[in-house]
Every structure is written in C-alpha cells, then in structure tokens.
Chain A
Amino acid sequence: AQSVTQPDIHITVSEGASLELRCNYSYGATPYLFWYVQSPGQGLQLLLKYFSGDTLVQGIKGFEAEFKRSQSSFNLRKPSVHWSDAAEYFCAVGAGFDFGNEKLTFGTGTRLTIIP
C-alpha cells in the first residue's frame, strides 16, 4: 500500500519570498502524484498532478512540482508567494491502474502562513 509524508506541519514565509513544501511518498511502482490546496472551510482544489513523462509539472496559480524518483519526493514550489496563497496544502499519491487499489492516500497537510 502507498503512503505519503508531509514533514512540515506549518510553514511561515514572507510575501514575495520563494516557497517549497515537501512531500515524500512510498509506493513500489511509478505513482500518480497530486498537490491540493484548501482554504479554510472549503473543499480541496487540485493544483497539479503527475502521471508520467516530464518530471517537472506546472500547475495553477503559478505552482510547480518536481517528481524525483531517487528521493521518492514530489515537492511543491512557487518562486514568489502572494498573501492569497495562505492555505492548507495536501500531497496525495495514487497507485494508477492498480485494480482494487483505486483510492488516493493523502498526507496530513502543511499549513502555510504568509507574513507581510
């Protein structure tokens, strides 16, 4: 079974600074990987996804993530954060076309605070 670790519970960055949120996964084959964002009291919105191909994927709102198989990581990055990026971020892993294992496994989330 797959698993996901987000080692940072809470991160604070200044507006305009760069951001990197960490995600490590465990899965025997090539995983499907996702990053979601959640504003308080709202549902989750998909930021980006990796299925195969180019290991650097671009998403919405200026975010990108890089799949590194050797490090079992899928870290989320943004070159310059905006106050509106303050939210909770979840990394998730899926097993792809693995019959009987169609669910996604979510990390526990990283809360991002932006200071002026």
Chain B
Amino acid sequence: DGGITQSPKYLFRKEGQNVTLSCEQNLNHDAMYWYRQDPGQGLRLIYYSQIVNDFQKGDIAEGYSVSREKKESFPLTVTSAQKNPTAFYLCATQGLAGGEQYFGPGTRLTVT
C-alpha cells in the first residue's frame, strides 16, 4: 500500500521539550517537504530535501531541524527554540521536479 505515513496523529508536549515528528514514504520519491499550517495562513515551508543527506531551509526554519539519512524518511524536530510550536504539520513528497506534491495525513502538535 503506497503512501506517506506521519505519526503520531496528535502529539502533546510541555514547553521547553524537543519533539520529533515522523514522516515515512514508500513512493520512492527523491524530494520531501515539511510544512506548517496555522488557521487562515495556508501552508508555510519549513525545510525540504531534494536528495538523501542534503536539505535546505524553507521560509520559517528557525526553531526546527531535520535529517535525511534515508530516502524513505524525513523526520522533523521541533526544538525548544521555536517560539510558537503549536500547529498542524504536514509532510509531502514530490516525484518530479516542479511537479505535484503528495501529502501525508498530518500531525497536530500541541505544546503547553
């Protein structure tokens, strides 16, 4: 069954703790993306990776970190330096440069 898996669906953390969001894909796509979504603000790009062991900052990378050790996996760590981490996080893959992106189901992170 091909697709993108994000886990968990809901995540709760205390302020000051780092948290890692998982994104796994079996679509054999080279490019992977992380977006943050807040009500009424659309999608904002956090980080993206076009190839294993390489990634670039998006528009709102401060307070986040990523790794790309395997083609299938692109985990996102929300660090304690992120001022307002509560949001809906979406992972996406892209098989063709400039082509459509495929999205996972998302993880809703709540930090209190």
Contact = CB atoms under 8 A, between A and B. Distances in A.
Given A43-B106, A45-B103, A95 B98 contact: yes
A90 B103 contact: no
Contacts of A90: 42-43
A16 B43 CA distance: 30
B101 interface: yes
B100 A102 contact: no
A101 B99 CA distance: 11
Interface in B22-77: 31, 33, 40-43, 45, 48, 50, 58
B103 A43 contact: yes
Contacts of A92: 101
Max chain A C-beta neighbours (<10 A), residue from B50, B101, B102: B101
A9 B40 contact: yes
Contact of B41 (A36, A95, A97, A108): A108
Interface residues of B, number: 27
B79 interface: no
Nearest to B104: A43
Contact of B42 (A95, A97, A102, A109): A109
Interface residues of A, number: 28
A43 B97 contact: no
Nearest to A42: B105
Given A32-B98, A34-B100, A90-B43, A103 B33 contact: yes
Contact of B98 (A42, A43, A46, A97): A97
B2 to A, nearest CB: 14
A67 interface: no
Given A98-B97, A98-B98, 16 more contacts: A34-B100, A41-B108, A42-B106, A44-B43, A44-B90, A46-B102, A49-B99, A90-B42, A94-B98, A97-B98, A102-B31, A102-B50, A102-B98, A103-B48, A106-B43, A107-B42
**Lowest 7 A-B CB distances belong to which pairs?**
A43-B103, A108-B42, A94-B98, A102-B97, A96-B98, A44-B103, A106-B43
